[in-house]
Chains A and B, each alone.
Chain A
Amino acid sequence: MLKIENLHCQLEEEPDTKILKGVDLEVEAGKVHAIMVPNGSGKSTLSYVLAGREGYEVTEGSAKLLGEDILDMEPDERAAAGLFLAFQYPVEIPGVGNMIFLRTALNAQRKARGEEEMGAPEFLKLVREKAKELDISPDMMKRPVNVGFSGGEKKRNEILQMTLLQPKLCILDETDSGLDVDAMKLVSKGVNALRDEGRGFLVITHYQRLLDHIQPDVVHIMAKGRIVQTGGPELALEVEKNGYSDILGAAA
């Protein structure tokens, strides 16, 4: 599904700031991989580089989605190819209605894949159904994208987008940040509903608690721009119990 090999990157404007220093990672279809990271280890960089944000320069290595090299693609092409990033800080876009945004995105992806665009009535029905499952009110759908949404509402809106766009690979960047327990359950339920044979997940988090709700198949520890350890779900529990320092000390 997703295969990252020896990925190196630095900031475009500060070439001396090397952030990723040889990331190797493979996420198989049907699996949930978690990456646990201490602060300042290139967590968001990895998700941004995969999603195609400007400002990063890949100097070495590759990233392939379903066998296709994504690093040369535009962000929208990556999305159409099946990549979805749930943002740690979803962006507020004043003046752009949430509904119009969702429909434009969905149909742009369909068009890019040569599929038929979804008509307004069918889309409306689908959105209503999915929004309800995530406890997103019709009022939120009418508002501009994320404007005036609480932290939890923003995260639920991300999951709604993910549900509608049906990506092949979902990257969740600290989706648990800013969520209380109830919101976390709601979000996790939305994510778990999407788990199936054909879809891969990469869940990036500082804490183990999200992994209680979204249970991973594989857990990686990332530090200083690399994956330093890989194991089963028990690795997350070990981090929770002993902190990162033991593992990092052992890896160093």
Chain B
Amino acid sequence: MDAPINPWRAAYETFKASESAAKMGVPARDAAFARFEAHGLPTKRDEYWKYTPVRDLTPETGVSATSAKDAFAGVDAYRLVFVDGHLDNARSDRDALAKVADLPDAGADWVNTVYAELQGKKVEGAQKQIERPFADLNLAMATDGIAVRIPAGTSLDKPIHLRYEGNKPAHLRIVMLVEKGASATLLESGAGALTTGSEMVLEDGATLNHLRAQTEVADKQFTALYARIGAGSEFRTFTLAADGALIRNETELTMAGEEGNGYIAAGVMGRDHALIDNTVYIRHEAAHCESRQVVKNVMDGDSKAVFQGKIYVKKDAQKTDGYQISQSVLLSERAEFNAKPELEIYADDVMCSHGSTTGALDETALFYLRSRGVPEKEAEAMLVAAFVDEAVLEIADEGLQDIVRASIDAWMAERAAG
């Protein structure tokens, strides 16, 4: 075993003996830690970590927030506030949420089934299995989290908002089961989680909208999201990520039933030495499904964006419609964008396409706006907003679209002022 892992083993043993570990009761924990330990922290030699070196990470690595505001502070939602890795009941609406949804103990049987189903599963027939060390670490060391079951046919009246605060290296697990015909919206914000691991199951005809704001992350955040999308279901996830020293978002969708839709979108804003990585894997297992990935990066200073997106289509998944676009605007000559699109297709009647572009803002458009009296920074902000909007439009709710737009505008205004 590599030397750096030893402190993790010690930290794991200590955690395992703790009260919160007992409360979480995750049977899959040992297996997950064993996978993490066997893999080790990712290095540049790992195919999917080539552009995203993980340095200086120890079990004690804390987190901290920037001065940016909570993007979702104004949203009427069931708020669940986690501070240093534990739910702060007094500031949370857990009881109110429990009236409309089922909130079992995290150790409940179906929750543990979800863990085993999505996380540990290998992809049958794929050329390569992808290791997800931080998802394993999260499962092994999760201090708290939330499991939510939206009962069949229920449309949740307002979003659930998971809010992460504090400075400790928190690992939080989120499990959602959206039953047949049910629908819900899940929001996440805050820097107070070093890792999050989300496992979401959409039964047939279910709808789940997920929106994440990583606008306050000062140092590191690793997220892993798995969603299993049933027949005729729709899953949308959008992430706005800005300025983290290292943000890595892994999203893995499994199109498990016919005529399911899976949409992944992201807006990325980077300056200084920010490094923001979106890594996506979409597994088309059933026929007649549609998946779409729309990623827009706006990179300034010495910042770096990474996008790795894979579409895997199983032999039986005929009539798959898979689309992927990743685009970057570089606002500085030192900013960087690395894109790695991959298609692995075994069905013979599919439509899959991908594209990627990188460039500066359109000089001609900039001059046109300025010639009408719009100052340079404001003109840039207008063009940036227009550029990112293709991703923002992937968010289902228009009110939430506007919240994201406001965050982007605020970021550009701060850049103009700085």
Please give the residue numbers on chain A whose beta carbons come within 8 Å of chain B beta carbons, in ascending order. Answer: 51-54, 74-76, 78-80, 84-85, 87, 90-96, 100-101, 104-106, 108-109, 112, 144-145, 161, 165
Q: Is B387 located at the chain interface by the 8 A CB criterion?
A: yes
Task: Say yes or no: B386 contacts A76, CB within 8 Å.
Answer: no
A53, A85, A92, A101: the one within 8 Å of B382 (CB): A101
- Bound-state CA distance A8–B382 (Å) is 34
Please give the residue numbers on chain B whose beta carbons come within 8 Å of chain A beta carbons, in ascending order. Answer: 362-365, 367-376, 378-379, 382-383, 385-387, 389-390
A87, A91, A95, A104: the one within 8 Å of B374 (CB): A104
- Bound-state CA distance A79–B379 (Å) is 14
Residues on the B chain within 8 Å of A90, using CB: 368
B406 CB to nearest chain A CB (Å): 14
- Bound-state CA distance A105–B375 (Å) is 9
Residues on the B chain within 8 Å of A109, using CB: 372-373
Task: Say yes or no: A104 contacts B378, CB within 8 Å.
Answer: yes
B166 CB to nearest chain A CB (Å): 38
A93, A95, A112: the one within 8 Å of B373 (CB): A112
B357 CB to nearest chain A CB (Å): 13
Task: Say yes or no: A93 contacts B367, CB within 8 Å.
Answer: no
Of the A-B pairs whose beta carbons lie under 8 Å apart in the complex, a sample of 17, sorted by A's number, is A52-B371, A54-B363, A75-B371, A76-B370, A76-B372, A79-B373, A93-B362, A93-B386, A95-B390, A96-B383, A96-B385, A96-B386, A104-B382, A105-B374, A108-B373, A108-B374, A165-B373
Question: Would A91 and B373 be within 8 Å (CB), given that A101-B382, A108-B378 are in contact?
Answer: no
B404 CB to nearest chain A CB (Å): 15
Question: Would A95 and B386 be within 8 Å (CB), given that A54-B363, A108-B378 are in contact?
Answer: yes
Task: Say yes or no: B372 contacts A94, CB within 8 Å.
Answer: no
B367, B386, B389, B390: the one within 8 Å of A75 (CB): B367
- Bound-state CA distance A177–B271 (Å) is 43
Task: Say yes or no: B373 contacts A80, CB within 8 Å.
Answer: yes
B364, B387, B389: the one within 8 Å of A91 (CB): B364
B363, B370, B378, B383: the one within 8 Å of A93 (CB): B383
Residues on the B chain within 8 Å of A105, using CB: 369, 372-374
- Bound-state CA distance A161–B387 (Å) is 23
Task: Say yes or no: A108 contacts B367, CB within 8 Å.
Answer: no
- Bound-state CA distance A51–B387 (Å) is 26
Question: Would A85 and B370 be within 8 Å (CB), given that A74-B376, A95-B390, A104-B378 are in contact?
Answer: no
A231 CB to nearest chain B CB (Å): 30
